[in-house]
Amino acid sequence: MLTAALLTALGVSMLAAPTETGSLNAHLEPLRVFLNKTWRGTFKESTPEKPMIDVSHYERAMNGQAIRVLHSVNDGMYGGESLIYWDEGTKSVRYFYLTTAGFRTEGTMTLEKGKITSVEKVEGETNGIALVRAVSELTADGHLKVKADYLDKNGKVVGGRETDYVEDSKAVVKFK
Mean pLDDT of the chain: 89
C-beta of residue 17 within 8 angstroms of C-beta of residue 7: yes
What is the rounded distance in angstroms from the CA atom of residue 9 to the CA atom of residue 50? 40
Nearest in space to 118 (alpha carbons), one of 140, 155, 147 = 147
Please say if the pLDDT value at position 168 is more than 60. Answer: yes
Does the predicted model carry a pTM greater than 0.85?
yes
Please say if the pLDDT value at position 120 is more than 50. Answer: yes
In tens, the pLDDT along 123-154 reads: 998 889 999 999 999 999 999 999 999 999 99
Domains and CATH numbers, the chain: 4-167 (2.40.128.20)
Please say if the pLDDT value at position 11 is more than 90. Answer: no
What is the rounded distance in angstroms from the CA atom of residue 138 to the CA atom of residue 100? 27
Q: Which of 37-41, 68-72, 137-141 has the lowest mean pLDDT?
A: 137-141
Q: Which amino acid is at 17?
A: A
The radius of gyration computed from the CA coordinates of the chain, to the nearest angstrom, equals: 16
